Amino acid sequence: MLANYTDRTSLRNNIAFKLASLTDLEYTPRMFFCDVYSNGDYIGIYNLTEHLKVSAERINIGKNGYVIEVTPSDRIESDESFFSTQRLHFTFKDPDVEYETEQYNWIKQHINKIENILYSHEFASPHSGYSKYIDVESFADWYIVNELTKNPDARMFASCFMNIVRDEKLKMGPVWDFDIAFGNCNYSGCESYEGFWIKESPWFERLFKDTAFVNVVRSRFKKMKQNQKVISSYIRMQSIFINNARVADNKVWQYLGVPVWPNYVVFDSFEKEVQYLQDWLNQRFDWLEKALDNL
């Protein structure tokens, strides 16, 4: 997939994927910056990103696996989607699944079964609770990447991907879509580095009622926190790498210093944009470390 972004969003997607690569999530799309020309004319810096699809090199779940996505719930149920008992709207990403087929009915029933167990009185049981049906580590890793970046869409609203193979546990991932994360959003408090966001969303608000899940999140976040300096260095290196290209890109699109909804802050230089991103993420790291320890 080839997508054009302003400098303030292209770096965010790139950094989020870097964060995900430091977890144990089985697959994170690869992304590269590239200069794009059309008929000899320069049209800007783009992100060349792998599509999310089932394959041995990407989401490796074989012929019996499925990738599903939580999408906005205001969309009606269609032949390619269904609502869970908690009113989450799921669509089929890969492969295509036809309405009311055996595959369609199995996935819908299985998701509802998991939800019913998750919201039952015995949900925390190590023998018959949710951990029997979901891959807890993948849920924790996916949570950390999206909570750390305070990704507005990831509150089980949009671009929330899961994958499942029959007779195996449901896994979260891959991660996707961080263009308005990292404090780049002016609504719902997502501009602030303080405050939980994903923790209060469907499924996760329930998971956090189990101390076993909280402990897994704490443990895996500590591993991520150890890489904080690595991430800061990565942000600087990526900014330097696209320095000349972003200047040329701005001559084409003229976005520097121009507010684009839903930007929270807009600066008149690339350096200030990058510094804000870096400062925001470092503050978020520190806040989240203390907040998780106090749960």
Instruction: Tell me the three state secondary structure of residue 43.
Output: strand
Q: What is the pLDDT of residue 255?
A: 86
Provide the domain limits for residue 111: 2-293
Q: What percent of the chain has pLDDT over 70?
A: 96
Into how many domains does the chain fold? 1
pLDDT in tens, 216-268: 999 999 999 999 999 999 999 999 998 888 889 889 988 888 888 898 988 99
Is it the case that residue 2 has pLDDT exceeding 80?
Answer: no
Global pTM reads 0.95
Q: Is the peptide bond before 262 cis (omega within 30 degrees of 0)?
A: yes
Instruction: Tell me the three state secondary structure of residue 213.
Output: helix
Residue 240 CA to residue 246 CA, distance in Å, equals 10
Is it the case that residue 170 has pLDDT exceeding 80?
Answer: yes
Span 2-13, average pLDDT: 66
CA neighbor of 69 nearest in space, from 152, 145, 175: 175
Q: Which two tokens stand for residue 164?
A: 């499942």
Span 24-48, average pLDDT: 92
Q: Which two tokens stand for residue 13?
A: 């997607």
Pairing of strands 31-38, 41-49: antiparallel
**Mean pLDDT rounded to a whole number for the chain:** 93
Residue 93 CA to residue 114 CA, distance in Å, equals 20
**Strands, E assignment, 152-196:** 160-165, 171-172
pLDDT in tens, 56-87: 999 999 988 999 999 997 766 667 899 999 99
DSSP H/E element including 93: strand 89-94
Q: What is the pLDDT of residue 286?
A: 98
Q: What percent of the chain has pLDDT over 90?
A: 77
Q: Which two tokens stand for residue 90?
A: 């799921």
